[in-house]
Amino acid sequence: MGVYVFKTDINSASLIESVKPLLNSNQYISDWSIDIEDIDNVLRIISVELLENEIIQIIKNKGFICEALPD
């Protein structure tokens, strides 16, 4: 199981709502959260199947910035 952490520009509840259906419907994502109180608007994803670059592409395809944060 992989835990991935990303810096995003998803910085409000309404923007979270816009990505919620996308993340909830992905069968390979077991859990996710976005911390809009953090300066980096941290997206945390738990996935067994997806790779870091695949998650970045999913978020970027929705029109958001998404960059891996170092451990």
Say if CB 46 and CB 31 are below 8 A apart: yes
pLDDT score, position 50 = 95
pLDDT score, position 70 = 83
Domain limits for position 61: 2-68
- Answer yes or no: is pLDDT of 71 > 90: no
Query: Could you give the CA distance from residue 10 to residue 20 in angstroms, rounded to a whole number?
Result: 11
Question: What 3-state class would DSSP assign to 24?
Answer: helix
| Number of domains observed in the structure of the chain | 1
Query: Could you give the CA distance from residue 71 to residue 8 in angstroms, rounded to a whole number?
Result: 16
Write out pLDDT tens, residues 17-64: 999 999 999 999 999 999 999 999 999 999 999 999 999 999 999 999
First-residue to last-residue Cα distance in the chain:
16
pLDDT score, position 16 = 98
